[in-house]
Copies of this chain bind each other. A is one copy, B any other.
Amino acid sequence: MQRIKTKHHEDEAADIPTWREPQRARGRSRVNSILDTALAIFTEQGFGAATMSEISDRSKTSIGSLYRFFPTKESIADALVYRHSVRVEEHWKRIALRARDLSATGLADAFVDSALEARRDPNLAFVLADARGDPAARQRRNRLAVHALIVECLTAATGGEPRPEYIVMAPILLRLLEIVMAAADEKQTDDGQAVSEARAVVRLYLAHRLQSTG
């Protein structure tokens, strides 16, 4: 009867049910397949229109078991956000490792390339539009975590000196990379021109900002 990952907001009752981490490997993979299915269905139909029974059907989990892992539909959204945030954080940590002493253009390319590589996950904020309540807040917090990691990358690339303007740059950079991903989605239409243009913007921005502050 262990509940983990309970939320800790200042503004929320602490006992809102969240998902339950399975003990055994089989459970772990079951949970992941549920999350994959749920993400697919949320993406297709939106959070509000998705039904627990379709998630249970398509993930081949009986509705009873589904509810054992995820006591509410919102809890699936929560778990999805959490899983995503973990992946994203790992992703940025990996970049941070490689960022040391990269040139501005090199760093821009590192950012863009890994954005392109990571693109397969749909935009969760978008997909979970109406998972009422917290996912939104949670997403915001995740964003902050990512900002910190971007600051870390910038710091690493410029020789370890953290500069205050990096804090302003981080959200902008993150959004620029979202443009890159959106551009990649249109690749089929314009044969990659959009992506190169987006990449050019990132390069331009970093070149300009890192030089002018260096």
User: Within 8 Å CB of A129, what residues of B?
Assistant: 46-48, 126-127, 129-130
CB-CB nearest in chain B for A179: B175
Q: Please pick, from B49, B127, B171, B197, the residue contacting A172 in the complex, using a CB distance under 8 A.
A: B197
- What's the Cα separation between A132 and B41 when bound, in Å? 12
Number of interface residues of A (CB under 8 A): 32
Q: How far is the CA of A80 from the CA of B53 in the complex (A)?
A: 29
Of chain B, the residue at the smallest CB distance from A46 is B130
A27-57 CB mask vs B (1 if < 8 Å, else 0) is: 0000000000000000001111110000000
Task: Give a binary string over A169-199; 1 marks a CB under 8 Å from any B CB, 0 the rest.
Answer: 1011001100100110010001001100110
Q: Give the complex CA separation of A175 and B171 in angstroms.
A: 14
CB of A13 closer than 8 Å to a CB of B = no
| Residues in chain B near residue A50, CB distance under 8 A | 130
A45-B132, A48-B47, A204-B208 known; A169 vs B182 contact (CB < 8 Å):
no
| Bound-complex Cα distance A204 to B129 (A) | 32
Q: Whole-angstrom distance from the CB of A212 to the nearest CB of chain B?
A: 10
B47, B190, B197: which contacts A130 (Cβ < 8 A)?
Answer: B47
CA distance A125 to B46 in the complex (A): 12
A205 CB-CB contact with B under 8 Å: yes
> Which residues of B lie under 8 Å from residue A48 when comparing CB positions?
46-49, 129-130
> Once bound together, how far apart are the Cα atoms of A168 and B175, in whole Å?
18
* Shortest Cβ distance from A171 into B: residue: B194
6 closest pairs, A vs B, by CB? A48-B48, A46-B130, A129-B129, A49-B130, A46-B129, A175-B179
Instruction: List 5 A–B pairs whose Cβ atoms lie within 8 Å, in order of A's numbering.
Output: A46-B129, A169-B197, A171-B194, A172-B197, A175-B179
